[in-house]
Each structure stands twice: as structure tokens, then as C-alpha cells.
Structure 1
């Protein structure tokens, strides 16, 4: 790998399972709000077929706890 390419490993990805209607709003917000309010760094990738939430793997236990407390089901 060239020395000028930066890399940051150890990420965990959660897929927001739909389908969600195009007009449904607040879905991503309902996931990221409890995390950001608790100091968890996030990266969201949204595409036509879905949304993906990336978090640092070291934050995974806390993320699971916060999302479940917010009413989300994790599989």
C-alpha cells in the first residue's frame, strides 16, 4: 500500500432494515440521536436501497445498549 494513503480500521456497520417509504422521515435521526447525545461518533451512508450506520468497534457495547434503550431491535 502506498505510504500516502490513510487508513482507519476497526469499524462496525449496522444496516437499517426497511423497506422504508420515501416519505417516512426521522428514521435515521431516531438511530443517531441517542448515540450523538452520548458522545458516540458516527458515520452514516445513505443509498437508494438503505441506510448504513458505521461506528468504531470499541463503541459497540455502548451503542447496542443505547439503541436498545431507544426501542430499536438489533439482530
Structure 2
């Protein structure tokens, strides 16, 4: 099962799609996938009334050509960027005043 074990997993379903975000080694043979992503966790929990959290993270990345994929959970958010952009992402987030641990 894709969702078993340690590590980040997200499952989303719409009327016409099922998306599973997981570690590459969990993807069964023959399933379409896009690999080479790195995940940054935004440490929550954040109140639903708190605004601008995602924007404060995405804006410096988007302004510098870094594409992002955001997955939100009840207590936090996960920012996925291509692994080739991971170091640039770290630098840009630090420059924007975000603490990376």
C-alpha cells in the first residue's frame, strides 16, 4: 500500500483524478509519476484565520522562477519543489526571513 510506512504521503481524489504524493520507491510499476521533488514542511498548527502564510513562502520563490506544489493538512502545509531547486529554495526562504530547521 502506498500510504504505509514512514514519510510524507498525501492522497487527493476529485471526480476525474486520483493523486498520490509519496516516496518514489512506493509507486507501483506501470503507474504514471513525476519524481525528483523535495518537501519542506511549514510547521503548524496554523489558525484558519491566519492569512498570508502560504503567500509569504510562495512569493519569494515564484518571483525567482521556482515552481511550487503545496499540500495542506489540518495542522500544517507542505511545500514541494523540484529537487534541482531545493538549495535555491532554502536560500530564498532564509533571505525572506523564514527559519529552516
TM-score by length of 2: 0.69
Equivalent residue number for residue 29 of structure 1: 55
Structure (1/2) with the larger helix percentage: 1
By how many angstroms is 1:16 displaced? 0.4
| Deviation digits for residues 33-64 of structure 1 (CA, Å, limit 9, x no counterpart) | 00001110100011212110000111011101
Ranked by relative contact order (alpha carbons within 8 Å, sequence separation 6 or more), the top structure is 1
Matches within 5 A, 1:1-75: 1-2=29-30, 5-75=31-101
Aligned residue pair count:
73
By how many angstroms is 1:21 displaced? 1.5
Contact 2:44 2:76 in 1 (8 A): yes
Structure showing greater Rg:
2
By how many angstroms is 1:19 displaced? 2.1
* Runs (5+) with no aligned partner, structure 2: 1-28
